Amino acid sequence: MQFAPIGHIQFNVRDENLPFYRDLLTFLGWGLIGEWPGMIGLGSVEGQSLWFGSQVKAVANDYDGPGMNHLAFAAASIADVDEAVAWLRAHDVAALFDTPRHRPEFARDEQSTYYQVMFETPDRILIEIVYIGPK
């Protein structure tokens, strides 16, 4: 069996938050596929896509309950994580869990680092931006 990469993921979000996801993902280098009432799609250079559409039920997301805990985006450098932190601050998005910080317990070896920032979207979707590589 050959394993396939992720094709796409859809998140149900509140309509008023669609611009947040468009702005965040375009900042992270994803291209806008399309934007319609109640739905936007963004694509990566590798061909994956993320879709954000109108939520269908009035329930709160709990990333510590069943389901996906968080979505992580890979950064090319520590500086890119720090640039994302600046973007988040400019958009009044708080970093969580004492991040940004290095996580030596997740590093591949002593010459590597795992440097992350974690935050919640307006819909309580937990997102990580992480650099994993040489110190």
**Dihedrals phi, psi of 21, to nearest 5 degrees:** -65, -40
What pLDDT score was predicted for residue 1?
A: 64
- Full-model pTM: 0.91
**Sign of the CA dihedral with 18 first, then 20, 22, and 25 last:** negative
pLDDT in tens, 21-40: 999 999 999 999 999 999 99
Domain spans of the chain? 6-56, 68-135
Give the CATH number of domain 6-56.
3.10.180.10
Q: What superfamily in CATH does domain 68-135 come from?
A: 2,3-Dihydroxybiphenyl 1,2-Dioxygenase, domain 1 (3.10.180.10)
Return the SS3 of 92: coil
6: amino acid identity, one letter: I
Same fold for the domain at 6-56 and the one at 68-135? yes
**Dihedrals phi, psi of 66, to nearest 5 degrees:** -60, 145
Contact yes or no for 124/64 (Cβ under 8 A): no
pLDDT in tens, 68-103: 899 999 999 999 999 999 999 999 999 999 999 999
